[in-house]
Every structure is written in C-alpha cells, then in structure tokens.
Structure 1
C-alpha cells in the first residue's frame, strides 16, 4: 500500500478515526505522517482531539440543558454566585467544577435538571456492599418506607399509610431474624 498523500513511498503509518460513527482511515509514509504532525516513532495509543476534556464534556451537557446562554439571563448568571466561595454560575459553566459544598445550595435549581439528566435521579441513592448480607439494604428500605409513611399521613391517605406500616413491620422482623 502506497502513501495516500505523496503516492511515492510505502505507507507505514495507519491512522483510524471514528467520529459520530463515521470511520476515516489514513495510510501515510513516515515523512508525510511527520509533516501532518504525527510522530511515527511514537506509539499513538488513543488520541483525543486537543480540546477534549471532561470539563468540556460537562460544559456541553450544561449548554444542551440550558442552551448557549444559561437558564438565567446573562446578567443574572454573572451576579448569581455562591456566598461562600464567590463562584458564579457562568464560572461553573466555563470550568465545569463547583467551588465548594455551598455551591449546591446556591445553584440548586439549575443543577437539579443536570443531575437528573446525568444520573437519572436527583437524590443520592448510594451503593450497598454485598458482604453486609443485605442488612444495610433492608435498613435503607425501612428508612424510605418511613418517609413514604409520613408523606401518606400528611396527605391523610390512611389506608395507604396502614399498608406502608405493615411493610415496615415485616421488614423489621426480617431484619431482626438476620
């Protein structure tokens, strides 16, 4: 196979790029590869575009969620900031990192849809280690059922509350047996 560029020397450098399910291949000689910015003596491994970063990935998710401008007006995005670290929402969009734990409160209404999109839910559910024998999982289920019980009582849905109460008792008995 001859070099696609000069068509005078054998192709010794083969580069395959796949972008959006579109595959392009280049077959170059060492000289043409070097002129193209590819070092033929170095193993290429995985190449990313020079402007690829996880911050850019997060920023693109934010842009998709809120549009090219933020959900706020540009003026409000610049003045809305965290009271602890001073980070503005615009700064967060540019760097892709929150400044401190209080930023979650400051930007909560804008972060909610982003977390929903990335994780599928807004609340942290955590993971349960398998070696605990399921006790932690059962305790978590009981905690969730108690929360549902309080909500049912608040809505005055007493039949539903009674069913939830019975579920809690059954899980507590199961927990005590283990």
Structure 2
C-alpha cells in the first residue's frame, strides 16, 4: 500500500481514528507520519504501549478526597524493591513477585482493561467439546457448593442432576 499523503513511499504506519462514531483510516509512510504528528494524540514520537499502560495505572484508583490526612507508605515489592509508582511510570514489573505485591491495585486495572479479573482463554475447536463440558461441570460444582452452604437444597439437587448429565455426556465422547 502506498502512502496516502505523498503517494510515493510505501505506507508503513496504519492508524484508525474514531471521532463521534466516524471511523477514519490513515495509511502513511514514516516521513509523512512524523510531519503529521500533531494529527495524532501525543505525537508520533511520544506514544508507546508503556505510555498507554502508565495512563491506565495512574487512573486505576480514583481519589475519594482531595485531602490526605495520613501519608501512606509507598507500596513496594519485597523481592526487588520496585514501588508501585515506579511500576506505573514504566508499565513493567521488576520481578515475578511484583504481581503479588501490587495485586490489590491491579484488579481494578484488569477489570477496566479486560472487563474481568479472571482469564478464561480460548479453546481449540477440535478438542473444545470435552474441555467446555469439563469447565461447565467445574463451574456447576462451585455453584452446588455455594447452594449447599446457603442451605438451598432444592436448587442444589437441580444442579447435581445437571452435573450428572454433563458427566454422562463427557463419558460418551
């Protein structure tokens, strides 16, 4: 594809800009993209995935009050010493323990970005039938446990029957 601006060089940067529901696509070479840098928020040379993540992290927890009565100690990883503010600027963990250390602040971020805090993943089409049924059985067993704890025995019996039916289907496959 050739650059839409100069019509000479190959387009290497492709942007989609949506304003008020109107979608505009831009296919530019690097030279024209740098010249049109003001057309894209933040300019071409200043945007990276780390800036995006940093922006999300900085807004992860809305302030409830403009006044801080007591200064909290900065959240810090015990293993590598990285603080949460350092992580929010770089968008990178220092070690594998950082995920656990910053966990309480990461859940709202994951919820906003992914819509959930639990990764469900994708299942291949070929083996999907059995895997999906086993996953459904697992979810129903959790639901059954909750119903028994709440002493909702009629609902628990219905769920038990659903589990048995699904386990039969799995055995038949």
The verdict on a shared fold, with TM-score over 0.5 as the criterion, is yes
Distance (Å, rounded) in 1 between the aligned partners of 2:143 and 2:111: 21
Report the counterpart of residue 136 of structure 1 in structure 2: 131
Report the counterpart of residue 55 of structure 1 in structure 2: 50
Q: How many residues align?
A: 143
Report the counterpart of residue 140 of structure 2 in structure 1: 145
Shift of 1:64: 3.0
1:141-165 superposed Cα distances (whole Å, 9 cap, x missing partner): 1111111111222222222211211
Report the CA distance shift for 1:143/1:93 in structure 2 as closer, same or farther (over 3 A): same
Report the counterpart of residue 112 of structure 2 in structure 1: 117
1:55-87 superposed Cα distances (whole Å, 9 cap, x missing partner): 10111112233359xxxx7953x6311122222
Distance (Å, rounded) in 1 between the aligned partners of 2:93 and 2:62: 19
Query: Do residues 127 (structure 1) and 125 (structure 2) align?
Result: no
CA RMSD of aligned residues (A): 3.3
Q: Which runs of 5+ in 1 are unaligned?
A: 1-11, 24-32, 39-47
Query: Do residues 168 (structure 1) and 163 (structure 2) align?
Result: yes
Shift of 1:20: 6.0
Distance (Å, rounded) in 1 between the aligned partners of 2:138 and 2:114: 22
Report the CA distance shift for 1:18/1:108 in structure 2 as closer, same or farther (over 3 A): closer
Query: Do residues 85 (structure 1) and 80 (structure 2) align?
Result: yes
Distance (Å, rounded) in 1 between the aligned partners of 2:77 and 2:103: 11
In the alignment, is the contact (CA less than 8 A) between 2:133 and 2:170 conserved in 1?
yes
Q: Which has the larger radius of gyration?
A: 1
Query: Do residues 107 (structure 1) and 102 (structure 2) align?
Result: yes
Query: What is the TM-score of this pair, normalised by structure 1?
Result: 0.67
Distance (Å, rounded) in 1 between the aligned partners of 2:51 and 2:71: 23
Query: What is the TM-score of this pair, normalised by structure 2?
Result: 0.68
1:116-164 superposed Cα distances (whole Å, 9 cap, x missing partner): 1111111121211111151111111111111111122222222221121
Report the counterpart of residue 149 of structure 2 in structure 1: 154
